[in-house]
């Protein structure tokens, strides 16, 4: 349910920003929205497997870096740079969640035993 609410909020934000997309800040927000929607779609495809999502995001960062290095357009470089930045943040959050999950599971087991 939360996933659907987030997806709807992202869609609404994208619709509101689309007419104003020539503004630098709005472009950045649109890139962020598109990436977050992409991550939600990937997560659904792999049935919430965070290890697989981590691999997918790492691969996407790798491909964007290749495109970044080959790009000559300043606009493309800005877009790719922003996309890489957002994906790296998402990757950090995914890795953090993967590291914390075993501790949460262990704490839940201890709580349930008492």
Nearest Cα to Cα of residue 36 among 55, 18, 59, 53 = 53
Please name the residue that has the structure tokens 């590291």: 99
Return the pLDDT at 20.
76
> What mean pLDDT is predicted for residues 95-109?
78
One DSSP character per residue, 82-113 reads HHHHHHHHHHHHHHHHHHHHHHHHHHHHHHHH
Mean pLDDT taken over the chain: 87
- Categorize the per-residue pLDDT at 76 as very low, low, confident or very high, splitting at 50, 70 and 90: very high
pLDDT tens figures, 17-69 = 777 777 777 788 889 999 999 999 999 999 889 999 999 999 999 999 999 99
pLDDT at residue 13 in the model: 83
């Amino acid at each position: 349910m939360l996933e659907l609410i987030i997806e709807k909020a992202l869609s609404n934000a994208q619709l509101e920003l689309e007419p104003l997309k020539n503004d630098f800040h709005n472009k950045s927000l649109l890139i962020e929205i598109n990436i977050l929607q992409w991550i939600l779609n990937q997560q659904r495809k792999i049935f919430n497997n965070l290890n697989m999502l981590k691999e997918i995001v790492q691969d996407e960062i790798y491909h964007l870096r290749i495109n970044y290095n080959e790009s000559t357009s300043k606009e493309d470089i800005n877009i790719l740079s922003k996309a890489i930045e957002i994906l790296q943040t998402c990757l950090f959050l995914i890795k953090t969640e993967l590291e914390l999950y075993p501790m949460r599971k262990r704490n839940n087991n201890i709580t349930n035993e008492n």
